[in-house]
Chain A
Amino acid sequence: MTTTKTILRSDELSCPSCVNNIESNLNQTEGVSNAKVHFNTGRIEVEHDPDRASEEKLIEVVRHSGYEAQISPF
């Protein structure tokens, strides 16, 4: 299994409970080995198997949690 790290950014995190929601939903997604959401910066770090959980899938999970996110350049 290949694991890669993708950084997403969301501008919409306005409370620490948003962090818990997104983090739990991402961590329960098949193909994601570890997800960490930083409330202060809106940075979402996801370690995942790109074949089982694509970048689009990650964005979709965040969206399902109630927030929009984009892939970060850094």
Chain B
Amino acid sequence: MKLLQKLVRNATTRKKALLIVSGLLIAAGWAANFFGALPRLFDVLMLLATLTAGFEIARRAWQGLRNRHTNIELLVAIAATGGIFIGVFWEAAAVTFLFLLGGWLEARTMSKTRNTLKELINMAPETAIVIDGGERKEIPARQVQEGMRVLVKPGSKIPVDGLVESGTTSIDESAITGEPIPTEKQTGSEVYAGTINKNGRIFVKATKAGADTTLAKIIRRVEEAQEEKAPTQRFIERFARWYTPGIVGLSIVSYLFTWDLELALTLLVIGCPGALVISTPISVITGIGNAAKKGILIKGGEYLENAGKVTAIALDKTGTLTEGKPGVIEIIYFSRAIAVAGGGQEEFPAVHTVSLSDRNNESLPLEGEELLYWASIAESASEHPLAEAIITEAEKSGQIPEPDEFESYTGQGIEAVLGDDHIYVGKAEFLKQKRISISENINKEIRSLTNKGRTVVLVARNNKLLGAIGIADQMRPDAPKMISKLRENGIERIAMLTGDARPTAEAIAEETGITEVHAGILPEDKNDIIIEMQQQGYQVTMIGDGINDAPALATADIGIAMGAAGTDVAIETADIALMANDLMKIPEALRLSKKTLRNIHQNVVIALITVTALLAGVMAGSVHMAGGMLIHELSVMAVILNGMRLRWG
């Protein structure tokens, strides 16, 4: 008895039990009818089925009335009572059973659409192993305090945000950034709660725990975004508030005109606005959830709808299209061709320029490798940002020895000695001072690189010029692909906005395929350009790295911030925040938004067509209560299932 009480108290099991009993009673009724039992038995069984399924519906209708809401349950309850009253027992049973079944199926599928959020919540481990005075203690993850030392074993999830104190490992950060490829981490690297430690044992100094972690903020953001209603949803909900009383009115008027109670009751049943009300939220929840799984945080339904209409894009250059730090772009070197002139042998140095944009695929010519090697020895003692670029490039080919002696001439260059070799790296004037001659053909190459916006560093060894290195902020490898993808997706206008000099900006624009360049401008000019684009009728998206582009991001119809993981400002302020610095997420975000917008429209159309067709069917006398309820419930399921397609898109 206690068990039964418990079962009845649990809302889910109670609904399921009522549904099963009601279904069995209906089946028994039809069986009795088939085997020619007493005709009254059919009606009695149908009446029992109506009362069983109707119990839950009447309960909710009553609760609604008590709270002064007219809800769908009230319509169904009136229709079923009316059905019993006029003796259409089968219709009443079918209506209540189908409504309860529909509600149960809707709740089940709706719960699936909310799964992304649950998956994100489940990413965070519940406990953390903290090291306290040499002792290990397992405590709830949210109780970890800032500064505590946490041990993360290989294969386990990181419980807090923090910095690696010791150990090296690779970490799967897909929970935060959506990037499937693990990232290498060593002492000093930042790690996030919810990411997975793949192979090494690491100790992490906690900086944030529980609700303060990046993951928790993402979850909250996604949730807020899903809660925030899209303009279409707000419109439909306002409409629905008038719609239900409107249907009751229509039903009364129809009855007064026709004296046909069944027609009036059927109108109540088919008038439920279920599919329409659910059409927008279902697409928005699924669209935002799916984007979050890919590391794209969309602030809400409104932004999703706006992003779906974008026609123009303005991009920041530094840090967005480029890496935002200097890198080696070109190497000028001499090939040692030997020319035979006038019977004697003479070295004939031919100048070659090699671009490193595809260095990963091909190895450098030997002379180029050598030049980088000597330059990096001298630079290894320097702390100049350009030195870092040269060393990073040289390290791809192997170890770099330390120089024996080193001297830096501020703003000019550096001189280093390794064994018998003297190395000079710096500007042309510096090398000239060191009595190293620079031929006209290399000067020409240097001028051409400078015109492209490169910083050129010359390299000499033992009084002989080896060549030069062109350094600039490197374009991200994906930039041209991203631009062509955006054009494919129907973006009509793409403009680059940058404070950099025109030659540098144009070099990047040419490489990426952008034709509109606004160079040498201030942050407020970026704003004006976006306003101008909007005045010309474009729906504009601004893409930047979150902080220095803030005004332009705010002015644009949609602001997309790059590389937002760990930066609260970007997560909080951008309309769309990309957790990883992955350019391909931009067309992906716009594609998902467009797809979601299309899905919303499809759902509204499905809902409206169903209601109109049913209404026409009822007026024509070809749709009755049970059939009307079945079609109505099917339309709700169609809308939910259509929305759920966004989970996989």
Query: What is A's interface to B at a CB cutoff of 8 Å?
Result: 11-17, 20-21, 24-25, 28, 38-43, 63, 65-68, 72-74
Contact = CB atoms under 8 A, between A and B. Distances in A.
B69 interface: yes
Given A13-B110, A21-B64, A66-B11, 16 more contacts: A11-B107, A11-B111, A17-B64, A17-B71, A20-B69, A25-B63, A25-B67, A40-B229, A41-B227, A63-B10, A65-B63, A66-B15, A73-B121, A73-B124, A74-B121, A74-B220
A40 B107 contact: no
B107 A13 contact: yes
Given A15-B274, A41-B117, A42-B114, A20 B281 contact: no
Contact of B73 (A17, A41, A63, A67): A17
Contacts of A63: 9-11
A67 B11 contact: yes
Nearest to B124: A73
Interface in B82-128: 103, 106-107, 110-111, 114, 117, 121, 124
A38 B220 CA distance: 13
Nearest to A39: B281
A43 B121 CA distance: 13
Contact of A12 (B111, B124, B226): B111
Interface of B: 9-12, 15, 56, 59-60, 63-64, 66-67, 69, 71-73, 103, 106-107, 110-111, 114, 117, 121, 124, 211, 216, 219-220, 223, 226-227, 229, 237, 240, 274, 277-278, 281, 284-285
A43 B219 contact: no
A68 B66 CA distance: 21
A22 to B, nearest CB: 9
B285 A40 contact: yes
Nearest to B142: A73
A17 B64 CA distance: 8
19 contacts: A11-B107, A11-B111, A14-B278, A15-B103, A15-B106, A15-B278, A17-B64, A20-B71, A21-B64, A21-B67, A24-B66, A25-B63, A41-B285, A66-B15, A66-B56, A66-B63, A68-B11, A68-B12, A74-B220
A29 B72 CA distance: 24
A44 to B, nearest CB: 12
Nearest to B126: A73
Contact of B216 (A39, A67, A74): A74
